[in-house]
Structure 1
Amino acid sequence: MAEAQQTPMKLDPTYDHYEFPTTTPEPKPGHPGHLTEGQQAQVHQLRMMLETEGHKEHLDTLTLLRFLRARKFDVNAAKKMFTDYIEWRKAMTTKDTKTGGVKTLALEEVDPKNPPKPINLDEAVRTWDKDGAFKAKLAQYYTQFYHKTDKVGRPVYIEQLGRINLTEIYKAGITDGKMLLNLAVEYEKMADPRLPACSRKAGHLLETSCTIMDLAGVGLSNASQVFGYVQQASAMSNNYYPERLGHMYLINAPSLFSWVWRTVKGFLDPVTASKIDVISGNPSKILLEHIPAENLPEKYGGTCKCEGGCEVSDAGPWREAEWSKPAWWEKPVEDATIENKPTEVGGEGAAA
């Protein structure tokens, strides 16, 4: 069967106000700038269905395409996933690891007589941890940070799961709710300003991150604690931030993990599984094949030694004046919509 012909991506002037390239570097079917007429029609159909139900936010083409790809371009399934996402943004919930259901995200210990007030993510991203005090406190027990870019230009995200000590975290007044809200805010900040800045610098659209999960220190004593939190974090990622994983490297895994991974991998979507590599032994060689030495922290075999530590530098194009622009959440509420001017000529393709 002949491959369906791809045509320049059509942008919608009502919602698509981008000031960064909108074409992905590789011509993958269903990705921005590489759509068939049928796929473009499905974007239009999904947007019209959502508008009919009164939705007005997050209807830009890049967002709708991520949800469509996540549901194999099944418009009805993508619509369900998107509407669940919008409702979640208005009143955040999390996976209840005891019952398997969902519960309202709570920042403090829950009092049965006083249910937690729902958290609106659009409001929270503007105010959460503006002084960085929470992140600094959490870093004492759980290290997670963005640091520069890989060779493709994607932001590199690093987590040191083995350092999680939930007992000490809870003693410090840090609840699961606070950690999950912090994770959601970081997803929002990856979407804007990190990915737009990386796209401007790379000269093509980047929608995903390169993730390093450092499992050093994860053992039987803390595995159950780590697994419970990771379950909640994974549910948030899968349900509300689809198509954000570029590639993940699981490094310093204990011997038991390799056996567990072989079992878990069979239950994953093949596309997702193909994006995850478990690196045995010293990870430096493989990481340096994908991340420039000057961008990789010395701890992992690179040459980067940021002043004060790579873990707190937040170094990357989003911190460089040439590539960074104010994020939507940094603007006044009355001017909160993204007002970047399209760089595409005639609304097609990407800026050089």
Structure 2
Amino acid sequence: MFSCCRNSTSAIQTEKEGKTESLSRTNTSQANLVRRTSVYFDSAKDSSDIQECIPSDDDSEIFMDAVQDLKDMYPIITTSYIPPAPRRVSMLEPDSMLRATHLNEPDTILQAKPVQQRLRLPPVLEKRSSSRATRKAQRRPTAAAKQDLVNPHVVIQERGYPGQLSNDELAQAQKFYRAIHGDDAAVRDIVYSLNTVEEEPYAICRFLRATQFDADKIVQRLQDGLDLWKDASAANFYPDLSDAIGAPVPVFLQFYPYCYFGTAKNGCPVSYFKAGRFDVEGLLAMTTTDKTASYFWHSNMYSFRDLLQKTKESQPEFVRCEAINVIDLTGLSASQFSNDTMDALKIISKIGDYFPETMHCLIVLNAPTWFSMTWRIIQGFIDPRTAKKIQVFGSETKGRNRLFELVDESEVPTDFGGKAGSTDLTIRKLAFGNDWNKRRLAVDLMHVKRNGKSKTFEWTLNANEEMTQVQVFSRSVTPCSITLTQKGGAVVADQVAIERPHGNTTFTAAKEALPFVTTIPMANAPIRGPGTFTVEASDNKESSTVNKKLPSGFFLFVADIRQTE
């Protein structure tokens, strides 16, 4: 459900602002370097604990923190991104990957070392592989890899990043580097999956932060997940989403309203998700749980990477492959957390394992009071260190204030309290591309109960519009009948049967009832406006009994509406 819960391992932020500290530099011609810090929870409680903190003067805010008995060694940035002056890191010079405390020079956290001459940067690996990107990537000497880790060309003043490693961390990084250049190219493909926007030392450290620099553990995790990766890689990570999902992307986004919008103060792209409009029955009427995985593969390998590339073009020293995620729970009900929703969460979590440490933080807005119990369930599918980067607000005002600390109002969409455009418009542009202002959909998910009343849905065509196609998506094992009429006019389609092409095949499990689509034959198509139209769906009164565990009665009606010339 929450695709924006990117796998990550740092600590959750508190509402306190991270303090910034101006740092002196030996080269006065360079801009002042501001150390970016964070404030986060410290706790020795067990990882299964959930804290619900409700201030005595305001019970509208809910803070839930998944904590664990681990030192928060790799905190997240909470203040605005101020690009540091370049400091060369190279795997050819191992000491450049170390923190200054391990060098015979002043601490670079307090005094940045100017670049005298930028030497050769770590090469970007070519996109050639047995599965995706790195089959013919030549392994460089370990000393060369070490140099990039110790002395990266941009140093992020935080633990766990190139240029800020301890000797032990550097040793683990070198061990991991040797391991991923073994016989199985797929492991290397995973680590370098974002190689067009992420240089090698940053990728190595990003994966190691997920296991607190335990090379053996992260290698084992990657090897355990090779089958799923290879399947997605064989499909080139689903560049054609409509084909992969088995349904039009515009329809999919009606029930999964998720998009990237704007840039945060630290340079990270920001994603927004309106969870209250998420409808798993609507999604499963057109696709399967397994096929929804293609959307999340595509989002990580194409959408996310493209946004990072745009950021790097405007901020050449930006090296973070991270995003800030915002979820609005307005309208969310407990009934939406069904078994099908949990299955979707499991898939999202599995895919997130291939992109560790890509979630900078997650802000949850307008959380209902019952969400604390549901969060306990969701937390079971999320890496504990990821859960610590999630901040939940029940107060809309406080939640937005926190959002504005991270993202300037001019970059926040209007439906989240900002001054930019709306996410609805952005999703529409994503769905229809260049035709976004010429097309729209009339969509309704109708639940037709056995021997129950018929369901109706009404919509209007404007004078400059026409209805080109009407389709019904469903996975129901029971049929229904559809009648489409124009108000004050003729019947457009009469008693069209919506049923499986091969009848009611005997199913033993819900996942066996695959979705199907029926195109409604319309008299005198396309239908031109103006006019008001009504679709009526009714049970066909069949007497056959149906297993209650099988999907039944949900029919997704979609009318494609276009502007006329």
* Shared fold (TM-score, shorter chain, > 0.5): yes
Shift of 1:212: 0.6
Q: State the SS of the aligned residue for 2:306.
A: helix
Partner AA of 1:39 in structure 2:
E
**TM-superposed deviation, 1:155:** 0.6
CA displacement at 1:313 relative to structure 2? 4.5
More strand by share: 2
- Contact kept, 8 Å, 2:262 with 2:269, in 1: the verdict is yes
Structure-2 separation of matches of 1:245 and 1:37: 26
DSSP 3-state at the match of 1:250: strand
Matched residue SS, 2:325: strand
Q: Which amino acid aligns with 2:210?
A: A
Q: Residues 239-294 of structure 1: CA distance to partner in whole angstroms, max 9, x if unpaired? A: 22111110101112111013554787699766434311101221322212211112
Within 5 Å, give how 1:141-290 maps onto structure 2.
141-171=255-285, 173-202=286-315, 203-224=317-338, 225-237=340-352, 239-261=353-375, 271-282=385-396, 283-290=399-406
In the alignment, the residues of structure 2 paired with residue 247 and residue 14 of structure 1 have an alpha-carbon distance, to the nearest angstrom, of 27
Tell me: CA distance 1:89–1:157, structure 2 relative to 1, closer, same or farther (3 Å). Answer: same
Residue number in structure 2 paired with 1:40: 170
Partner of 1:63: 203
Q: 1:53 aligns with which of 179, 183, 188?
A: 183
Match of 2:220 among 71, 77, 80: 80
More helix by share: 1
Deviates more, 1:284-293 or 1:148-157: 284-293
1:294 lines up with 2:410 in the alignment: yes
SS of the aligned residue for 2:237 comes to helix
User: Structure 1: how far apart are the matches of 2:214 and 2:281?
Assistant: 43
1:89 and 2:229 equivalent?
yes
1:152 and 1:261 mapped to 2: Cα distance?
A: 28
Structure 1's 5 and 261: CA in aligned 2 closer, same or farther, altered over 3 A? farther
1:150-181 deviation line (CA, Å, top 9, x unaligned):
1111111111222122222222x222222211
Q: RMSD between aligned alpha carbons? A: 3.6
Q: Sequence identity of aligned pairs in percent?
A: 22
- Residue 5 in structure 1 maps to residue 145 in structure 2: no
Residue-by-residue CA offset, 1:28-85 (whole Å, 9 max, x unaligned)? 1111343345433432322222323342534533322222111111111111123334
Please state how far the C-alpha of 1:10 moved relative to its aligned partner. 10
Q: Secondary structure at the match of 1:89?
A: helix
Q: 1:30 aligns with which of 157, 160, 170?
A: 160
Question: Residues of 1 paired with 2:367 and 2:154: CA distance?
Answer: 32
In structure 2, list runs of 5 or more residues that go unmatched: 1-98, 114-118, 128-151, 193-199, 431-565
Output the TM-score relative to the length of structure 2. 0.44
131-140 or 161-170: which moved more?
131-140
How many correspondences in the alignment? 280
CA gap 1:23/1:226 in 2 versus in 1, 3 angstroms:
farther
Q: How far 1:122 moved relative to its partner?
A: 5.8
CA contact (8 A) 2:238 2:244 kept: no
- Asked if the contact 2:267–2:318 (Cα under 8 Å) also holds between the matched residues in 1, the reply is no
1:139 is aligned to 2:253: yes
Report the 3-state secondary structure (helix = DSSP H, G, I; strand = E; otherwise coil) of the residue aligned with 1:206: coil
Answer whether contact 1:23 1:204 (CA < 8 A) is retained: no
Q: Structure 2: how far apart are the matches of 1:310 and 1:32? A: 36
Residues 1:263 and 1:50: Cα distance change in structure 2 (over 3 Å): closer
Unaligned runs of 5+ in 1: 92-118, 315-352
Read off the aligned partner of 1:5 and give its amino acid letter. H
Question: What TM-score, normalized to structure 1?
Answer: 0.68
In the alignment, what sits opposite 1:120? 233
Query: How far apart are the structure 2 equivalents of 1:290 and 1:74?
Result: 31
